[in-house]
Amino acid sequence: MDSALTLVGLPIALGIIMLGLGLGLTIADFRRVAQHPKAAVIALVCQVLLLPALCFGLVLGLGLPPELAVGMMLLAASPGGTTANLYSHLFGGHVALNITLTAINSVLAVVTLPIVVNLSASYFLADAASIGLQFDKVLQVFAIVLVPVAIGMLIRARVPNVAERLNRPVRILSVVVLVAVIAGAVLGERENIADYFVSVGLAVLAFNLLSLAIGYGVPRLAGVDRSAATAAGFEIGIHNSTLAITIALSPALLNSTQMAIPAAVYGIVMFFTAAAFGYLVTRVGTRSVSAGGEAAAT
């Protein structure tokens, strides 16, 4: 599960994709986030407070073994992954909000992730070891997210014609890369997938669906517009499984293959559930627009 594809290939691929996302962004997009912080605040509260609490109740309800339970809590405490930005881009979400949330969450996770994992380990495990602050992982997330986006935005600002010409090809390339990563992840773990899914598949699927539903539903109930709610749904529903796997497997941290299993399964499941969620949200949005147009016509 700690293959080159997961730990090296995926971040590099996502970095390239983030360059393409930057081609479609301007400073004005981020100003709008600052002018309307409601969606960002709601999403952060859901991500940092609500999801770990719900995940704790889920693992208790399902009666997971201690190591798997801690692995689930590690996953819940991990910030949104950069993959969320791509899905938001593909399905009409507010990408600038995603990028902002990923950056803020990555900083908060330096404090919140060790707290959640250490408390969980103390509860579920008798001989729990504590983990430290992951400054290097936070820097990696910033490098993958912010640097390529900044380059793309610079191209758009300096040579907008080039950005316009590159936008569609890069979007198509993003889909191709995403499909290749999914295929590689499945093939690379084909010998272990069955065992992983039997042990923790139900918990992972339930948590993933719950995360997507909360990420989209809570902002919508609070009056947030559909684009921002879609962005929040992906940001909260797609956790950084690579970070969780790295922390679980690292000899200096948790050093536990069992704790890495939930994140490994999640890293496969989330691709499909996120795509289904994006399709559903897009379809609902299209129906709403059509219904509004018909009402206006009458």
Residue 206 amino acid letter:
A
Q: In whole angstroms, how far apart are CA 284 and each of 89, 199, 217? A: 17, 34, 13
Tell me which residue of 217, 201, 3, 180 sits closest to 86, measured CA to CA: 180
Residue by residue, what is the 3-state secondary structure of 262-275? HHHHHHHHHHHHHH
Distance CA 263, CA 280 (A): 24
Q: Per-residue b/e over 288-298, b at no fewer than 16 CB within 10 Å?
A: eeeeeeeeeee
Please give the model's pTM, rounded to 2 decimal places.
Answer: 0.70
CA–CA dist 273, 260 (Å, integer): 20
Domains (range + CATH), the chain: 4-287 (1.20.1530.20)
Model confidence at 286, in pLDDT bands (50, 70, 90)? low
pLDDT at 2: 46
pLDDT in tens, 160-216: 888 888 877 776 776 676 566 656 655 665 676 677 777 788 999 999 999 999 999
